[in-house]
A and B are shown apart, each in its own frame.
Chain A
Amino acid sequence: MKRVFDTQLIGPFAAMLLVIIIVALTTERFLYLGNLSNLFLQVSIVALIAIGSTIVIFAAGIDLSSGSMVALLTMILAQMLKFIGIPLVFALPLIFIVGGLLGLVIGLLTAYGRIPSFITSLAALIAFRGLALTFNNGSPIFSLDPALEPIFYGKLIGIPLPFFYLVFFYALAAFIMNFTRLGREIYAVGGNPAAAVLTGINVRKVQTTTFVIAGLMTAVGAILMSARLNSGSPNYGQTLELQAIAAAVVGGASLAGGRGNILATLMGAMTIVIVQNGLNLNAAPSSIQNVVLGLIILMAVGIDMWRAELSTLIFSFVKRFSSNKKATLKRNS
């Protein structure tokens, strides 16, 4: 357990706590049960997609494609349910497969085609959005299947289902990253690809796998998105990829690869969503929300970069404080 809940979680956890305290103190309705369960609904899609984005980042890649892929997958799902007439139980696994395959293509182009992932996933970001528009003449498809909505809105013992998805997928991701060979190899490839090659790790295969994982997690996000709105639209998921990357970064994942804790991404996503929620409840305009999101990302990375200076500052402060205390104690005794 020590391995999973390590010191890397302290910072993101403290940040989340701080944000909760601030929002709770300034916003009356924040702690209402209704709002809290709403919070889980809000965070679920971005937090699940962020699992994939983070794992790609751990291997020193970047995935910009997830937002557009969500739009494309919701359109494919809508097409299957509404026009082709594929039953939901078959359509959902198919969406998983398509998501995984799209990730595979990006992964293969990156790892074997030696095109930087920033470019492959940027191309995918643009192309997937275009592909989504080729369905239904580019119009959204509504009222897909009455059985779809409960996937998002359903409850188990009074708790919204997305809470359980979060628990399940984060537990799985934490297990993979901390206890399996694949997880170790992902960190190794992100930490030092040259050394990974010389130790016999199949670097390209590992890189490709991270994009497949990202594709699968995006499929999960796309299914929840469709279920939430009972529709598919080529406009869904705009900037979702950036929010997912932001969650990873606020959670402390190093964009250089190799460092970070997957659970911290969940905290990063929570932090972002709580701030947005607080701004919403205080009726702040959405333009301000984006500015705040930008500032949060800057602060999260800044604190990481200035860690040495900050700790020296704190250290000298503590030293001065404790020596004062010692001096006082001496005087008193």
Chain B
Amino acid sequence: MESKTPLWEFVDVTKAYPGVLANDEICIKLMPGSIHGLLGENGCGKSTMIKTLAGVQNPDSGKILHNGQPVIIGNPQVARDLGIATVFQEFSIVPTLSVGENIFLGNMPISRFGVIDWSKVDIDAARVLAEMNIDISPDAITGTLSVGDQQLVEIAKAIAKDARMIILDEPTAALGEEEIERLHALLRNMRNRGTAILYVSHRLDEVERIVDEVTILRNGRVVRASGETEINISEIVSAMVGEDIGEHYPKEHNITDKVVLEAKGLATKSNVTDVSFVLHSGEVLGFGGVLGSGRTEIAHALFGVDQLTSGQIILKGKPVRFRQEIDAINAGLALVPENRKYDGLFFNFKASGNITAASLGGLSRFGVLNLKAEQQATYELIRDLEISNEAEEKTVNYLSGGNQQKIVIARWLFSDSDILILDEPTQGIDIGAKIAVYKLINKLTRAGKSIILVSSDHDELLAMSDRVAIVQQGTISRSVNASDLTHNDLVQASANTSYLKSQEVLA
């Protein structure tokens, strides 16, 4: 910690892609024994910077210093040899291999006879896992572990390579509260042993908790270097967005007392048991709880993805039964799934095809699409939701996460759904796009539509919901007014679940 020479330093690093200056004279110092937060909206140049440090791509100009000496990180192998380990958002573990195999994948210890030294794999893997203070067997098949444990295996890989510099890109996107705590404890531990950590995240509450210093990028430039900015959320937000945005959560209360949907004792084979709640017109009903508590499964029960084994859904006073998704859609429900990449978007379509996908029946006559109407509607939605203009001409894989999410929601605006289930709608999108999604929620409730908001971001859930239903083990334990609930209550609720779970294991 005392050493004044940064482990890694970028000096005026510039990288241009055709048409974009992704990194514009970036300077950053990464000190050993420090967790360095790298923040910025999507498209600000964070990924480019990470890729440069990981050797995935080379800068056009500028210098990279390692312990003060200029080096060239020509390819990922060079980066690994220099002690850099990267944990990318998409895991690079092989689910069918054991934990030990994954940890040593690429540098398996070889015995004298030229074959893999399995006993050494087991011993070393166990040592690394013990060092990390995590309780995973080296023999476990990685794919059977929870997402959080898989993430820890990913980090174990980095530690096994004796990495002095670890880059984490959105490490908590798929983790529950308890798992985040474990990850953070591990990172602090590693920091104390002198490892430099570059931590990229969109979850500002988390950044505040874990990060020692912070650098903020905007439009490919460093707008706040470490040391300049206090680690204080509102300051970070305004530096990132480039303006003082004032209210982070622009909540409007549009709840009425007209009940639009009532769930009575819903149960499915996916561990949903006895779920009852009411949803009002103009209401945002938050579903709080930890990852795996059954929030998504309840959403699936409502949407006809999973069949009800018992219970009843009453929609506008009439009992309904959804045999499949299309029935729910026709009844005015919409599901914006948690994983927009896998379940939400058509990457082969532009904005237009994505927006109209759920309304093709209404858009066509005798099977022929009204393409003029489609274009007009797309144009209007792109304008109203402030979606990038590129969406009109390019397929959606070229758009940022925020724009993609707006397009998925726009699909259900276009289909004129009355009840929208938004499952983690702001996961992995930047703060500016988050605020846009919040404004969209206001716009919807103002028009009398109802929202079920599933979110792991406690602050967001509390700020944007009218009422919060706490989900534990596939059921709603209680529903309360959001104003009567604190951040702590939600954490407590999560803790209770894990407490119950551990009791079950013991029993």
Interface residues, chain A, CB within 8 Å of chain B?
3, 179-182, 184-185, 187-188, 190-192, 194-202, 258-259, 315
Contacts and interface: CB of A to CB of B under 8 A. Distances in A.
Contacts of A181: 360-361, 363-364, 367-369
Interface of B is mostly: helix
Given A181-B360, A192-B342, A195-B346, 11 more contacts: A180-B369, A184-B356, A188-B357, A191-B346, A191-B348, A192-B346, A197-B325, A198-B303, A200-B329, A201-B326, A259-B348
A191 B348 CA distance: 6
Q: Which 9 A-B pairs have the closest CB atoms?
A: A258-B348, A191-B348, A200-B326, A200-B329, A199-B358, A191-B346, A181-B364, A199-B357, A181-B360
Nearest to A58: B348
Contacts of B309: none
Interface in B330-388: 330, 335, 337, 342-349, 353, 356-358, 360-361, 363-364, 367-369, 371
B434 interface: no
A53 to B, nearest CB: 19
21 contacts: A179-B369, A180-B367, A181-B360, A181-B363, A181-B369, A184-B356, A187-B349, A187-B353, A188-B349, A188-B353, A191-B346, A191-B348, A192-B342, A194-B343, A196-B346, A198-B305, A198-B335, A199-B325, A199-B411, A258-B346, A315-B18
A201 B330 CA distance: 12
Contacts of A190: 348
A310 to B, nearest CB: 13
Contacts of B364: 180-181
Contacts of B345: 192, 195
Interface string B428-467: 0000000000000000000000000000000000000000
B51 to A, nearest CB: 15
Contacts of A184: 353, 356-357, 360, 369
A194 B408 CA distance: 14
Contacts of A259: 348
A3 B411 CA distance: 21
A200 to B, nearest CB: 4
A187 B343 contact: no
Interface in B476-507: none
B360 A195 contact: no
Given A184-B353, A200-B325, A195 B344 contact: yes
Contact of B358 (A191, A200, A202): A200
Nearest to B347: A191
Given A180-B368, A192-B347, A202 B361 contact: no
B368 A188 contact: no
B411 to A, nearest CB: 7
Nearest to A175: B368
Contact of B344 (A187, A198, A202): A198
A195 B348 contact: no
A191 B369 contact: no
A182 B363 CA distance: 12
A315 B361 CA distance: 43
A197 B327 CA distance: 12
Contacts of B329: 199-200
B59 to A, nearest CB: 16
Determine which residue in A185, A187, A192, A258 has the highest number of CB atoms from chain B within 10 A of its CB, and name it: A192
Contacts of B361: 181
B349 to A, nearest CB: 6
A235 B350 CA distance: 45
Contacts of B18: 315
B250 to A, nearest CB: 28
Contacts of B358: 199-200
A194 B360 contact: no
A255 to B, nearest CB: 13
Contacts of B357: 184, 188, 195-196, 199, 201
A233 B330 CA distance: 51
Nearest to A258: B348
Contact of A194 (B326, B342, B349): B342
A182 B411 CA distance: 18
A179 B305 CA distance: 30
Chain A CB within 10 A, most for which of B348, B363, B371: B348
Max chain A Cβ within 10 angstroms of own Cβ: one of B337, B357, B367: B357
A185 B360 contact: yes
B360 A179 contact: no
A288 B467 CA distance: 73
A199 B356 CA distance: 9
Nearest to A185: B360
Contacts of A182: 367
Nearest to B327: A200
A314 to B, nearest CB: 11
A192 B329 CA distance: 18
B406 to A, nearest CB: 16
Contacts of B346: 187-188, 191-192, 195-196, 258
A180 B349 CA distance: 15
Nearest to B336: A198
B186 to A, nearest CB: 33
Contacts of A187: 346, 348-349, 353
B472 to A, nearest CB: 26
B343 A195 contact: yes
B379 to A, nearest CB: 16
Nearest to B337: A198
A200 B414 CA distance: 14
A7 B455 CA distance: 41
Contacts of A197: 325
Nearest to A257: B348
A182 B368 CA distance: 8
Contacts of B353: 184, 187-188
A64 B349 CA distance: 27
Contacts of A201: 326, 357, 360
B426 to A, nearest CB: 19
A252 to B, nearest CB: 13
Contacts of B363: 181
A158 B411 CA distance: 51
Interface string B188-228: 00000000000000000000000000000000000000000
From B325, B329, B330, residue with most partner A Cβ within 10 Å? B325
